[in-house]
Amino acid sequence: MIVTMMPAVAERWRAPRVVGVEFPFGHAFGMPNDAAMQRSVAEHALQALSEATGPEYRLDVPIEWPIDTKTAYRDWQPLEASPIVAYNKARAAAAAVSAGS
Amino acid sequence: MPVDSYKYIPLNWRKDHEAAPMKRASTIWTPLQTPLPEARLALLTTAGVYLSGTQESFDLEGERRNPTWGDPGYRVIPRGAQQAQMDFAHLHINTRDHHQDFNIALPLDRFAELESEGRIGRLADDHYSVMGFQSDDGAAWKQETLPEITRRMKAAEVDALVLAPA
């Protein structure tokens, strides 16, 4: 079973038991040093394992991330753009220059 | 309200995700053969966790040299591993919170509690970490890493895996 921030993507891959969390990336089980939140997600995982009787099972965790979306969106991202993001940006910039010349 | 799967991705990616087709024709379904209070569980994270004193980091320099490639290897993280032993090799997320508390990605402490309360039969001795950025086809994962992890879990008589992408 899978605990994921992108349950719709897991469903598209037809993962058999999906637990969805509306948390920023990197934080499938919640906030650091918040054992109660982590425990709640873990209990939902157990619920999925015990309750699902067939494929296409999905259970969403009804916990709201306690940090505003704009801050959380910024905070999950690496301080430096990942190599693939930098690479794609450079390619797009080169293509724009080429198209303009 | 259902979870919004695209809340934390750039807005211009949402349309592509929402328009994407199904990736498989059908679901592989295996019933849980053992009741949870008797079952053995393992965890797998894609957060690039490794034990800094005894294991090599995932190959981030290789990824920097070749941005379309990601290290397809895996690390075994034993139950009982401590925060001070862990490091995180992942160029696609900010690992600041992981350095405070690894349980946000690999909740060994929470599942150990569930074991001690009898909610699960046993937390496995070994758990697994990979680094989640892979080339488009993920061929090395499919052909080498995942079969090896599966073999290890079967040998350890694991009944269920809790997979947690980062």
Domain locations in chain A?
2-100
pLDDT at A66: 98
pLDDT at B35: 97
Residue B13 lies in a domain: no
How many distinct structural domains can be found in chain B? 1
What ipTM was reported for this prediction?
A: 0.96
Residue given tokens 């009944």 in the structure block: B159
In contact, A52 and A17? CB cutoff 8 Å: yes
- pTM for this model (two decimals): 0.95
Of A79, A3, A14, nearest to B45 by C-alpha is A3
pLDDT at B11: 86
In contact, B47 and A37? CB cutoff 8 Å: no
Mutate to test the interface with B, among A2, A27, A56, A75 (most CBs of B within 10 A): A27
pLDDT at B98: 98
For chain A, give the longest Cα–Cα distance.
Answer: 62
Q: Rounded CA gap, B69 and A83, in Å?
A: 9
Residue B9 lies in a domain: no
Residues 82-141 of B with CB under 8 A from A: 90-98, 100-101, 103-105, 107, 109-111, 113-114, 119-120, 133
pLDDT at B86: 97
Identify the domain containing residue B135 by its residue range.
Answer: 33-164
Q: Rounded CA gap, A59 and B102, in Å?
A: 24
Residue B110 lies in a domain: yes
pLDDT at B42: 98
Q: Which residues of chain B have pLDDT under 50?
A: none
Mutate to test the interface with A, among B5, B58, B65 (most CBs of A within 10 A): B5
Min distance A2 CA to chain B CA atoms (Å) = 5
CA-to-CA dists, residue B163 to A19, A45, B10, B47, angstroms = 10, 10, 24, 11
Residue B27 lies in a domain: no
Residue B16 lies in a domain: no
Residue type, B28: I
Residue B2 lies in a domain: no
Query: Which chain A positions have a beta carbon within 8 Å of B132's beta carbon?
Result: none
The answer to whether the Cβ–Cβ distance between A14 and B160 falls below 8 Å is no
Per-residue pLDDT 10s for chain A (101 aa) are 999 999 999 999 999 999 999 999 999 999 999 999 999 999 999 999 999 999 999 999 999 999 999 999 999 999 999 999 999 999 999 999 988 87
